[in-house]
Structure 1
Amino acid sequence: MIWFAGLAVGDRWQAAPMSYDLAVWEGERPADDAAAARCFNDLYDRFIDTEEPAVPPAERIAAFVAVLLERWPELTEDDDDTSPWSTAPLIGEARGPLIYFPMRWSMADEASAHASEIASSMGLNCFDPQARKLRP
């Protein structure tokens, strides 16, 4: 999901993106982007958009978050305004085999590329819900 805020452009307001979301999960790599979108939607429905009690993060997802936090601090610990995360604690966005987390739009290119590299190195899937595409 992309969140927007108003941005003054001349004498009118225009929507400006505020955050960029990324999904990372455990499991076999989907065959293509369409399969990845279905897999993401299924995981989202089962673990995020549910009234069931939250499932603790899977071990590899927790390890993934720990590696991300080695590079950039938690939002709540960011005295220098260098963190790309839009939520804290970051692990709070993880449920079971899935983490679906937002990052600041201004840092999304760098942070999402790094997150995608880390996910790949850990054998996790990385999916861009905005573009509905697997990240390499």
Structure 2
Amino acid sequence: MSYDLAVWDGDRPLDDDQAGSTYDELYERYLESDDVVVPPAPRIVAYVEALVARYPDDVDRSVVWASPPVIEEASGPIVYLLMSYGEAEEVSEYAAVLARERGLVCFDPQAECLRP
């Protein structure tokens, strides 16, 4: 079981509904299709690097990430973070704060809301 967040580079949506629509569009365009591989945008790469500097994504021993390496869940302007449920509260809080500090949007697809 995992807890998921989506983080993307773009203008902050006005509300949760707009964020949900933007998330759906980005997910379908960049993450759902295996046909077209789009390298992650530089700001997303920098974000993921900062995130895994604090919470390493060692494929053999990761207790934080449900799908390491994290960078493989990134495409274009979006990264989909899958956290182990037991670590989700701490890691998701840090991920949301780090996204805000870097001018990125953080969205919780389970609760369908922006993370402050």
- TM-score class, shorter: over 0.9
2:107 counterpart (86, 107, 127): 127
Q: Which runs of 4+ in 1 moved over 4 A?
A: none
Percent identity, aligned pairs only, is: 46
> Is it true that 1:23 corresponds to 2:3 in the alignment?
no
Residue aligned with 2:67, SS: coil
Return the offset for 1:50. Answer: 1.7
Residue aligned with 1:23, SS: strand
Quick one: distance in 2 between partners of 1:75 and 1:22? 19
User: Which residue does the alignment assign to 2:17?
Assistant: 34
Aligned amino acid, residue 80 of structure 2: Y
Unaligned runs of 5+ in 2: none
Q: State the Cα RMSD in Å.
A: 1.2
Which runs of structure 2 are paired with 1:1-136 in the superposition (5 Å)? 18-76=1-59, 78=61, 83-136=63-116
Q: Which has the higher strand share?
A: 1
Q: Would the alpha carbon gap of residues 72 and 52 (structure 1) be closer, same or farther in structure 2, given more than 3 Å must change?
A: same
Q: Deviations over 1:38-92 (max 9, x none)?
A: 00000001101124321000000000000011111113253xx6x4111121100
Unaligned runs of 5+ in 1: 1-17
Aligned amino acid, residue 74 of structure 2: A
Larger radius of gyration: 1
Aligned amino acid, residue 108 of structure 1: A
Q: Give me the TM-score of the superposition, normalised by structure 2.
A: 0.95
